[in-house]
Chains A and B, each alone.
Chain A
Amino acid sequence: MKLELLHQPDSAVAKVLLDPQEEILAEAGAMVAMSSSIDVSTTLRKGKGGGVLGGLKRMVAGESLFISVFRSGGSAAELYLSPTLMGDILPYTLSGTELVIQSTSYLASTPGVQIDLGFTGFKSLFSGESLFWLTANGSGLALLNAFGSVYEIDVDGEYVVDTGHIVAFERTLDYSISKANKSWAGAFFSGEGFVCHFKGKGKVFCQTHNPGSFGRMVGGKLPPR
């Protein structure tokens, strides 16, 4: 498999060149264009425990993960994958360390990477964020997307990230969520909402823009639904 990332960081698209009989998993709906020889099938990824995610009943966009499996036939084939929001794509190679990924940041992964839903480290404190988190394990490549550009912080000590700006982080880090300010009034007015304090050693991948803020800004100007 060969990977080429085009149009970074504004509107990144992943051009995947599959060898014969090769497979890649991607978030359903990510396919832009492909050689006609590629075979596709789509399944619903369920949460831990094999049962259907409790959240399935609500079906809010983002609470369940539909995965499409793209398989090339007898000859090499190409496939273009794109995320929903404008922004960059980050390739991350897994080899032992568990990676926690924000659900809307998952774009694609190779079959050796195990994607699981149901990471309950962060309880739903995020009003309006409707985020949930995935864990990636195993070995292979994971493609993550961001709203905006991605910047990597090598934490060695203490670092604070606004929760709407987290793309993914390595599980070697300790993390705790709190309001940005000491007082509740401060937190409400500051607009910072919730932040995550990372401690220890490990990488955090941040996105420069916050989908929730942008969504509210544009959504607020649209006719009611």
Chain B
Amino acid sequence: MKYDIRYKPAFATIFLTLQPGEQIFAEAGAMASMSGKVAMDTGFFGGLIPGLLKAFLGGESLFLNEFTNKTQSPQEIVLTQSSMGDIVQTQLNGGSLCLQPGAYIAHTKGIKVDLQWAGFASWFSGEGLFKLKLSGNGMIFFGAYGGLSEKNVTDSFVVDSGHLVAYEPGIKLNVGLSGSMMGSLTSGEGFVNKLEGSGKIYLQSRSMGGLVKFLKPKL
């Protein structure tokens, strides 16, 4: 499978070439355009989950599309995300990565996708009740609203909720108010996430919360 992530970081888009017999799984709506000969099938994310829970997923639809090249020659497909922003490809070799809702775009066979309970604290801070955990062997593509930066956390680090995109399982999240209750409300910082542990994290340079806060007084 050949891939090329173009137009980084503003409008990162994945240009993929599927070899004969190859396939890729992508979130609903990710296909922008593709050669007329690619076959598309729809399936469900990790098991059957009642439709009502979809509302709590905050950005991750339950449905996955499977794109397969059933022909004898390479075929092209262009995948993108709903929000404008950066996309990162990473290879998992037995390890795992946790993704915030909305960040997931696509993965190859060999990767297992699981919905995990993220805890009420996570829900309070606007990050949803669930998070996605991807593990196994293969490629994954995830994106963000804004530019993506990678950072290695060694001890502790504070992140504003909404800017954390992905993190390795060795990182523990502690969601809380940034200062005293009053301080948080007036400062607008609201909820912050104090990360502890060591591992890689990915931050996005914009947040939906920030965009909404900017637009509200102008409506």
Contacts and interface: CB of A to CB of B under 8 A. Distances in A.
Given A10-B11, A208-B7, A218 B212 contact: yes
A1 interface: no
Contacts of B84: 86, 147-148, 209, 214
Main secondary structure of the interface of A (DSSP, over half): mixed
Contacts, number: 122
B7 A190 contact: no
A122 B31 CA distance: 21
Contact of A180 (B40, B78, B216): B40
Contacts of A206: 32-33, 78
Interface in A156-171: 157-162, 165
Contact of B34 (A160, A214, A221): A160
A149 B42 contact: no
Interface in A85-109: 86-88
A208 B80 contact: yes
Interface in B167-219: 208, 211-212, 215-216, 219
B61 A191 contact: yes
Contact of B10 (A86, A181, A186): A86
Contacts of A153: 33
A168 to B, nearest CB: 14
Given A9-B11, A149-B6, A190 B63 contact: yes
A66 interface: no
A192 B33 contact: no
B36 A158 contact: yes
A197 B78 contact: no
Nearest to A11: B10
A192 B28 contact: yes
28 contacts: A9-B7, A10-B10, A86-B11, A148-B11, A148-B13, A148-B84, A149-B7, A149-B11, A153-B33, A158-B36, A160-B34, A160-B38, A161-B32, A181-B42, A190-B29, A191-B27, A191-B29, A191-B63, A208-B13, A209-B81, A209-B84, A210-B29, A210-B32, A213-B82, A214-B83, A217-B82, A218-B211, A221-B208
4 nearest A-B residue pairs (beta carbon): A158-B36, A191-B28, A191-B29, A10-B10
B36 A189 contact: no
Nearest to B10: A10
A126 interface: no
B156 interface: no
Interface residues of A, number: 43
Contacts of A147: 84
B32 A162 contact: yes
Interface of B: 6-7, 10-11, 13, 27-29, 31-38, 40-42, 59, 61, 63, 65, 78, 80-84, 208, 211-212, 215-216, 219
A119 interface: no
A174 B219 CA distance: 42
A217 B80 CA distance: 14
A222 B216 contact: yes
Residue of B29, B81, B216, B219 contacting most chain A CB atoms (<10 Å): B29
Contacts of B83: 214, 217
Contacts of B41: 186
Given A86-B84, A151-B78, A213-B29, A223 B219 contact: yes
A192 B11 contact: no
Contact of A159 (B6, B13, B36, B212): B36
Contacts of B34: 159-160
A87 B11 contact: yes
A160 B211 contact: no
A200 B38 CA distance: 17
B29 A222 contact: no
Contact of B80 (A10, A148, A159, A181): A148
Contacts of A191: 27-29, 61, 63, 65
B28 A190 contact: yes
A165 B28 contact: no
Contact of A209 (B27, B33, B80, B211): B80
